[in-house]
Amino acid sequence: QVQLVESGGGLVQAGGSRRLSCAASASIFSIAAMGWYRQAPGKQRELVASIRSGGTTNYADSVKGRFTISRDNAKNTVYLQMNSLKPEDTAVYYCNLHRYYPDYDYWGQGTQVTVSS
């Protein structure tokens, strides 16, 4: 089984920073792709950032230059460093583990990030 636990959410003022963490229980962490998604009220869930097992990263255009995704395979943990936060970043952020083979996605429960004006 795979369990993902997010932490680090909270209230932050616009222009501030926040770091999210996602700890995985799975031994397959090091060979899986990890991602952060977010869902704002009334909107669909969207990909924020992802990092493949080999370290290749991808970011949504809206967060490029502000957010950084990283992983620590020794700790089975993926991070999302969020800088220069904007009110439009307010959302529930979800951790995702994508198993390559067999193809399957695992999700955390989410952590709320609220950015005030």
> Quick one: pLDDT at residue 117?
93
10-residue stretch averages of pLDDT, the chain, 117 residues long: 95 98 94 97 97 97 98 97 98 97 96 97
Structure tokens at 110: 């989410």
> Quick one: pLDDT at residue 11?
98
Residue with tokens 């936060």: 85
Residue with tokens 């969207």: 46
Strand partners, 50: 35, 58
